[in-house]
Amino acid sequence: MLKMIISGCNGAMGRTVARLAAADAGIEVVAGFDLSAVKTDSFPVYADPMEFGGQADVAVDFSNPSALEGLLRYCAAKKRPLVLCTTGHSAEQLSAIREVSVKIPVFRSGNMSVGINLTADLVRRACAFLGDGFDVEIVERHHRRKVDAPSGTALMLADAAKSALPYDAGYVFERQSVRQPRGKTEIGISSVRGGTIVGEHEVIFAGLDEVIEIKHTAYSRDVFAVGAVRAAKFLAAVKKPGMYDMSDLLNF
């Protein structure tokens, strides 16, 4: 039985993971971490991770970058593998995550769905094939509650494009303040927020008189939660400290 902690357990994704975990005979959610430590029927919830003294095999985090410090402190002290799904971490936080991964296994992905990870692979291939003949632009759309922009997934897709382009691409997040034609080595990233859109990512390759679009649409949060549960099982079994991502789980 996999003993799981859910960080951000009261949120949209935390509740989705808890629902999937409850339906999985191989998982027991032993604790939740969240800002409001309201006890649920199924597991206790702690505002400070260090207050939880029980055993656990893995922690899955869908919360907020502000939760990171306490979560890393807890996971490092208790040697808990950590699946980090929260997006919007700063450069300093990303280096703190890498530091902790010397002590514990850390799985991090801005998008836990199988579909987006295939999309990233397709983007890499398209960039390698198209070279510098096409301009790359990314458009992401999310629900009105989302606080970080651009999305973690848009950055993942931009990194995938950058890794395969023949030039050193720079990311451009807004065009309003710049009055000049688009640069040859830019990857533009645009964010749309509204309603209840679960998550849409479109990578546009715009060339001379032709445009190619690779698009992924998530219709439910379950696609992310399923991936997070798979990652949790994988990470608890790995045991070896280090950084892991979906390429370790899927065969990309």
Ligand X SMILES: O=C(O)C1=N[C@H](C(=O)O)C[C@H](O)C1
Binding-site string for ligand NDP from residue 193 to residue 232, where x marks contact by CB under 6 A and - marks none: -------------------------------x--------
The two three-digit tokens of residue 109, written as one number: 């992905």
Q: Decide if 216 is catalytic.
A: no
Of residues 142 through 161, those in contact with ligand X by CB under 6 A are 142, 146, 151-153
| Dihedral in degrees, nearest 10, Cα atoms 8, 221, 226, 118 | -120
Q: Angle formed by the axes of helices 222-238 and 12-22, to 10°? A: 70
- Least distance in angstroms from the C-beta of 134 to ligand NDP: 28
Which positions from 107 to 136 touch ligand NDP by CB under 6 A, shown as an x/- string?
--xxxx------------------------
Residue 204 interacting partner from ligand NDP, ligand X, none (CB closer than 5 to 8 Å by kind): none
Catalytic residue among 78, 103, 146, 216: 146
Strand pairing report for 105-108 and 242-244:
parallel
Contact 142, 195 (CB under 8 A): no
Length of the chain: 252
CB 142 to ligand NDP: min, Å: 8
Sign of the Cα torsion 71, 80, 150, 177 reads: positive
Q: What is the largest CA-CA distance in the chain?
A: 62
Tell me whether residue 89 is one of the annotated catalytic residues. no
Tokens at residue 95, please?
């280096």
Q: What is the closest distance, in whole angstroms, from the C-beta atom of residue 181 to ligand NDP in the complex?
A: 33
Q: Does 64 bind ligand NDP (CB under 6 A)?
A: yes
Whole-angstrom CA distances from 91 to 98, 189, 234 are: 11, 18, 26
Q: Which of residues 13-42 bind ligand NDP (CB under 6 A)?
A: 13-14, 33-36
Please report, as ranges, the residues that interact with ligand X according to CB under 6 A: 87, 110-111, 142, 146, 151-153, 199
> Which residues form the catalytic set?
142, 146
